[in-house]
Amino acid sequence: MALYPPTPIPTMPKPMNRAQFLQNIPLFEDLTAAQTQSVAADLVERHFAQGDIIFREGDPGEVLYLVQKGRVRIFVSGSHTETSVILFGRAGDIFGELAIVDGLPRSASATAVEDTVVYTLERHAFRAHMRHYPQLALNFMKLLQCACATTPTRSTPSPP
């Protein structure tokens, strides 16, 4: 009786882990593998169905968002139900970065254009990583420079 090798069972490609995902984003690309792993450990995965509100203009800005899958619409409300779309985010894009720096409420709203998966990173964790990894802080400054060119101007209260 001859034994034949078992037929291999087709497998799905392994999903990208969080650290691999981060390494493909310019903000994190200069970090070492250990540094990226450290940041990845603080990510929280969140799922949104098409049309779900991710956050509203005026909400507290406590987290940075990274689009893992799907598309996100970032917009500001105008007068009389008018809205202006600032941008559409897709896989690999970051949004919500201004609020985690200045602590002001969100200057725009975000909704899922399609079923979307995002990773969130809390403000305190992100700031701790920037203190420990100077290259992350430098990359973040570059990101902010680009973001400020496409985001509505924020107004801060005047001192008394």
Work out whether strand 71-77 and strand 109-112 pair parallel, antiparallel, or are unpaired.
antiparallel
Q: CB–CB of 116/67 below 8 Å?
A: yes
Site of tokens 């897709």:
90
pTM over 0.75: yes
Q: How far apart are CA 133 and CA 136, in angstroms?
A: 6
**Is 14 or 79 the better-scoring residue by pLDDT?**
79
What the chain holds in terms of domains, given with CATH numbers, is: 20-146 (2.60.120.10)
Instruction: Give residue 1's pLDDT.
Output: 44
Contacts of 138 by beta carbon, 8 Å cutoff, 6+ apart: none
> Is 80 exceeded by the pLDDT of residue 129?
yes
Q: CB–CB of 119/16 below 8 Å?
A: no
Q: What is the pLDDT of residues 67-88, one digit of tens each?
A: 999 999 999 887 666 667 777 8
110 half-sphere exposure, CB direction, 13 A CA radius: 26
Q: Over range 120-127, report the average pLDDT.
A: 94
Q: What is the mean pLDDT of the chain?
A: 82
Q: Over range 110-125, report the average pLDDT.
A: 96
